[in-house]
A and B are shown apart, each in its own frame.
Chain A
Amino acid sequence: MATGKPYPPAGSGIRVRPWQDYSSVRPRFRLFCKSLEIFTRSHGVWKLQGSYDSDVSIPNYPDLTVHNNWMSRCLTGDIYKKLKDKKTQSGYTLDGCIQTGVDNPGHPFIMTVGAVAGDEESYKTFADMFDPIISGRHGGYGKDAKHKTDLTFENLRGGDNLDPNYVLSSRVRTGRSIRGLALPPWCNRAERRDVEKILKEALATFDGEFSGKYYPLKGMTEQEQQQLIDDHFLFDKPVSPLLTCAGMARDWPDARGIWHNDDKTFLVWINEEDHTRVISMEKGGNMRRVFQRFCTGLKKVEDVIKSKGYEFMWNPHLGYILTCPSNLGTGLRAGVHVKLPNVSKHPDFDHFLEQLRLQKRGTGGVDTAATGGTFDISNADRLGMSEVELVQKVVDGVECSLTWRRPWKQVCLFVCLLKAMEAGKDVYTVWPKAYPDLTKHNNWMAKCLTPQMYHSLVNKKTDSGYTLDECIQTGVDNP
């Protein structure tokens, strides 16, 4: 079909992969030429990348006009042009990172991130795009900011008796990635199997509270499957296009599995959305014990894999590295299933949650809406605060405490508000006042001001607007 003219046609403005015609070459040499051409891995530079002369249009830039995710907000033409030819060492490209965001313009309930990392290096190679996305998603995070990791469960205050009349269950989850292996959007089968092998062997060494069993998804018996479904442990092949478009469902169910301890309170998912997801949960409101088990278990896993020469992906800027930028830092989601049928109907409910850095979900997970007034309340942040701080926020958000001086005083106020709303009282008789914690105080105000007296006076004002709180502030601040 040779037309005698050069192919591809000139003047198309686009650099197209040239077609090599070997028909004029001797047959044996032809094979050599072809082989040479074929074996030259040119890292995709022969693909259509666009006109290098024009600054105005970038032919490969995605059409993001109807999109509303963090990637579409942050990926300008300039950034795209700068990063489009870069690759990480394992071969991951910018197009790979953003595919899920291009294919999924928006989500009905949340502002999605729209980009994933294929390996640890992605966050560095494509930093020009990831830094603004991370900053936007995590409510401001500088390029040089440092993330603090704190898994000392003893630092948690309270949290062991969240009101069981309201709190149905408590759960803490995070993810960990094994350094040196590509992440689920990009890993090949061998790497995925390696992750499974490393973790399976590590978890098999546990005993006591943590002795348990591994159930690979492939080859699971019917009874095991049913049992895991009944326990609400089984995860299924992702159907959400956010995940499938990123390539996380490839080769399902190869090298995926679930490990849990005999008590069914500590659970590890392998190769689902991240290398591992570590979950500690139990019924009731003892978040403290859940967090303690969580930290102990994580430490055990880390110790064992280190003894084999492996590490978790971590760095001082981004904390623990996971696939989705929204899970960087701690990757921690500490949450409770709590019954709030009245509170949730209040028009300011979402605002209150935002003030407290909490988020709500349905009890089915991120893609569901709440049913029957039971919500999954968890921390909204992942990055910039340590694990202990985040769990503390959740604990405080559902527990009553009456200290003025603590930085989380707003939390206490919200708790009183919650209780008042649940009891059907009018919100504004309680908000934003709460009786201060005067247990350590030794002044005349502390001796005289009883809670009843406080509540009867707190809403009063002088003609110039001076309130009781302002009167006693000095006494509260100076025990």
Chain B
Amino acid sequence: MSAFFVRNARTLAAAGGVGVAAASAWYYGNQTVDARVGGARKMYPPRTCTRCLWTSAPLAVAFMLGFLTSSVHQRYSCTLRAADNVPMKPVRKRYPPSADYPDLKKHNNIMASNLTPKIYAKLRDKATPAGYTLDQCIQTGVDNPGHPFIKTVGMVAGDEESYEVFAELFDAVIDERHGGYGPNDKHPTDLDWTKIRGGNFDDKYVLSSRVRTGRSIRGLSLPPACTRAERREVERVVSDALANLAGEFEGKYYPLNNMTDDEQQQLIDDHFLFDKPVSPLLTCAGMARDWPDGRGIWHNAQKNFLVWVNEEDHTRVISMEKGGNMARVFQRFCSGLKEVENQINNKGWEFMWNEHLGYILTCPSNLGTGLRAGVHVKIPRVSKDPRFENILKALRLQKRGTGGVDTAAVGGTFDISNADRLGNSEVQLVQIVIDGVDLLVRMEKELERGRSIDKLIPKGDGRGL
């Protein structure tokens, strides 16, 4: 019996294949519907390929063999199944990368400066394992040509793998944003607060001190790309971890979608509450989706250690207090971070981190340490000096208004913080801020006494540590 099949295998396969082919052609052919246009049978859009639907593997194999060996070579047009008189479903047209390349002529952000058509062509069809594409990374930069105060980055990462899949573009952007950083450079992480020297400013000038950073939970997508389920998982992991903290870090979690009016007012008065982002830089990247689902604020009882959940990153960790004791703020910051990390490690989770880029966050500008250590300092005289910008640049500091990155300064009170994030460790950056603010305060005092500050002006770019 089996010999019969073996000897006549080819004929049988051919017959089976032709049979299946004929049946399919009849079946699918009957389903091809006249287009609305005067009864003419048309392919829409013009035929570019033929596709077949398999019903099962053995049939498919038989069909293949029959198709190849049969003398009747039938090229039939196979449409996707059309039901109920619905006209043929068109195949999505494939365009060359040049047709899809964004128009960046009026743009002034770092992505626009580095995204050449060649890079775009190379990366456009790639995707991370979660399905995040280059077009999604750059959407915020395409929609926002420029910012009045700063040259924005213009792209975001949807997950940890984005930095690898689209490395060619991200490396160039990171290099420009962080003032020179090669693809093989290593980033040092150092959260040992005992190494800090000084850090106790004059309260008459320094109104408050604050250190913030961000952390992302490995394995879950970042805010531009996360699904609701992932966002809720981040909230669950982080709030569970924070609930286990004790001592000076004992606190409470306030989810945004379940807040009472009293709690909300209290958080506003404490300047803790964050609101739905309105900046198009964030909304165009998709970070305001499903607001306020999965978002919340945690703070300790003393109100000097604060964690934002699912705002611009998975978590933003903030340590702050009134006055000029930056050293204590940083100490609390480091201990708090360590505690949180221990808690999530106990449950088996990790932060996103690697040797090259340090802590991974949504915006490339926050890679490395993600740390912004800053003070609100009253320097009306120094700020009026024409050399102020250069002084800040030499000290590796940046200024902002006291309302945040999108505001201008008011009444001579500035938010002075480190300009760098990547390439220097946390300890180094905080030291830079401490030394820089010390100098600014001394300059302010000199100017108050009517003396010149020429001798105090720093030389070079202050990178020597």
Contacts and interface: CB of A to CB of B under 8 A. Distances in A.
Interface stretch (A305-313, A327-335, A415-423, A448-456): A305-313
Interface string A292-321: 000000000000001001110011110000
A396 interface: no
Given A9-B348, A89-B92, A249 B99 contact: no
A248 to B, nearest CB: 12
Given A9-B349, A244-B283, A38 B161 contact: yes
Nearest to A61: B228
Instruction: Kindly state the interface size class of chain A when it binds its partner.
Output: 35 or more
B129 A38 contact: yes
A89 B293 contact: no
Contacts of A315: 85-87
B45 A41 contact: no
B204 interface: no
Interface stretch (A178-186, A257-265, A469-477): A178-186
B130 A5 contact: no
Interface string B404-420: 00000000000000000
Given A124-B86, A250-B143, A251-B143, A48 B229 contact: yes
Contacts of A17: 129-130, 219-220
B130 A245 contact: no
A311 B35 contact: yes
Interface string B45-83: 110000000000000000000000000000000001000
Contact of A7 (B45, B219, B226, B229): B219
A373 interface: no
A188 B232 contact: no
B129 A120 contact: no
B289 A102 contact: yes
A48 B89 contact: no
B126 A38 contact: yes
Given A60-B228, A193-B99, 10 more contacts: A9-B347, A48-B226, A48-B227, A48-B229, A63-B290, A102-B289, A182-B92, A189-B100, A310-B45, A315-B85
B135 interface: yes
B127 interface: yes
Contacts of B129: 17, 37-38, 40, 42, 46
Contacts of A44: 130-131
B111 to A, nearest CB: 14
Contact of B100 (A8, A41, A190): A190
Q: Which 4 A-B pairs have the closest CB atoms?
A: A9-B348, A190-B95, A59-B229, A180-B90
Nearest to A252: B143
Contacts of A59: 228-229, 232-233
B387 interface: no
Contacts, number: 166
Contacts of B226: 48
A59 B165 CA distance: 28
Interface string B278-310: 000001100011110100000000000000000
12 contacts: A7-B350, A38-B126, A38-B128, A46-B130, A48-B221, A48-B227, A48-B233, A50-B229, A99-B290, A180-B44, A314-B87, A316-B85
B84 interface: yes
A8 B139 CA distance: 30
A34 interface: yes
A38 B127 CA distance: 7
A126 to B, nearest CB: 15
Given A62-B228, A103-B289, A121-B89, A42 B219 contact: no
Interface in A92-107: 95, 99, 102-103
A131 interface: no
B164 A1 contact: no
B93 interface: yes
Contact of B293 (A34, A50, A63): A63
A112 interface: no
A43 interface: yes
Contact of A47 (B36, B230, B232): B230
A412 to B, nearest CB: 37
A408 B193 CA distance: 82
A49 B290 contact: no
A478 interface: no
A8 B102 contact: no
